[in-house]
Structure 1
Amino acid sequence: MKPQPKRENAATAPEQGVWSKLIIELGPLLVFFAANAVAGIYAGTAAFMVATLVSLAAARIRHQKVPVMLLVSGAIVLVFGGLTLYLRDDTFIKLKPTIVYAMFACLLTAGLMLKKPLLELLFGSAFTLTEEGWRKLTVRWIFFFVAMAIVNELVWRNVSTDTWVSFKVFGFLPLTFLFALAQVPLLQRHGLPKHDAAE
């Protein structure tokens, strides 16, 4: 009768890991939104920077490593957030998503040209695909990141700061989730059985 709790713990461990990663990644954005709503963009930016540092530390402590994308995004938050506060110009924090998306698109494009699919390095432990599958998935993410960079430019240049902050939190995230969900059929078509991947 005693092994039963162990099976329950094993079953819930992956779910707990997913939730902790979600909180680590979304926490800073929610803090940014709340602080901006209460005290404005500069207070929001400062809170965003602090929350980003906390999330990076939490990722390191909880999962023994910091995801590359989270690390890159966090570094840019700190740099552009610092410029925003130092120069009292919110243009820098608004440019941050554009820079991040453009950087990811460029990195993926470079990997594709060098025949080194970077997505495989990032997500290879989560699922395995054929070479064609990784290539197609990489091309799709490149177009997505370029589109998101353009969208960010259009939004922050044409709406109020509060509207941009709301869109950053409640627009970009759902769009990213829906795009990732739309890739499931591709993953299923080009997925490799586990024994083939091991070979």
Structure 2
Amino acid sequence: MAERQINGVLKQVLELGPPLLFFVVYLQLRDTEYVIGARSYDGFIVAAAIFVPILLAAMGALWALTGRLSRMQIVTAVLVIVFGGLTVWFNDERFFKMKTTIVYGLLAAILGFGLWRGQSYLAFVMSEMLPMRDEGWMILTRRLTAMFALLAVANEVIWRTMSNDAWVTIETFVFPVLLFAFFMAQARLFQTYGEDDG
């Protein structure tokens, strides 16, 4: 079934809104302890628990409006549910922080497996939006695989060595900006290998 088109601003709000809301909720709750069912939870754990239904509501709205979700959105939702649940169940923020490492690591592994097989799985997902010759897709896939691997390693270093405030800020703003900058830096590649789809 073809994806129904929706307003671009609305789509961005539904995709980027949940992480921004997590950031705001975390800032409001970070210095408070909450007792729920005779267990004490810090603000980070409560913010992580609140993030799960916010993300699922946004994805549900996106699916209702467009008629589809990407495979990556579905995988991300499953990981958020699993690791958000583990975070609350064990009352341990490390699970929620590791989610980012696993998402980036999984993306790097999937793209790397495709490269090992001589294929660009990125082209499979994006070629309709961005017509490009096979050679260009292989170059972009190699670069993006390295980028995802670096982000996975960076997340591990950051959450293990920095404060919660630093990790939440970097997770919410720095990683997305780095990915945006990465794609902007590929403009020459797109021009060199792009195909005119008529």
Amino acid at match of 1:179: F
User: Is the counterpart of residue 59 in structure 1 residue 49 in structure 2?
Assistant: no
SS at match of 1:54: helix
Deviation of 1:70 after TM superposition, in Å, equals 1.6
* Cα distance per residue 1:103-127 (max 9 Å; x no partner): 0000001112223311112111211
**Matching residue within 72, 77, 80 for 1:74:** 77
In structure 2, the partner of 1:10 is: none
Counterpart-to-counterpart distance in 1, 2:176 and 2:9: 16
The residue number in structure 2 matching 1:145 is 148
Measured in 2, the distance between the counterparts of 1:59 and 1:67 equals 11
Q: Which of 169, 172, 176 is residue 172 of structure 2 equivalent to?
A: 169
Q: Secondary structure at the match of 1:194?
A: coil
Please tell me whether the aligned partners of residues 119 and 138 of structure 2 are also in contact (alpha carbons under 8 angstroms): no
1:85 to 75, 85, 88: 88
Note the C-alpha offset of 1:48: 1.1
Matched, 1:103 2:106: yes
> How far apart are residue 68 of structure 1 and its match?
1.8
Determine whether 1:30 maps to 2:33: no
Deviating more after overlay: 81-90 vs 168-177: 168-177
Distance in structure 2 (CA, Å) of the matches to 1:98 and 1:150: 7
In the superposition, the TM-score normalised over structure 2's length comes to: 0.87
CA contact (8 A) 1:31 1:47 kept: no
Following superposition, the deviation at residue 128 of structure 1 comes to 0.8
Q: Which 4+ residue blocks in structure 1 deviate beyond 3 angstroms?
A: none
Q: Are 2:122 and 1:119 aligned? A: yes
Give RMSD over aligned pairs. 1.5
More strand by share: 2
How many percent identity over aligned positions? 34
Question: What is the CA-CA distance between 1:18 and the residue it aligns to?
Answer: 2.7
Q: Secondary structure at the match of 1:171?
A: helix
State the distance in 2 between where 1:107 and 1:137 align.
14
Q: Is contact 1:25-1:70 (8 Å) kept?
A: no
The TM-score with structure 1 as length reference comes to 0.87
Return 171-180 or 110-119, whichever deviates more.
Answer: 110-119
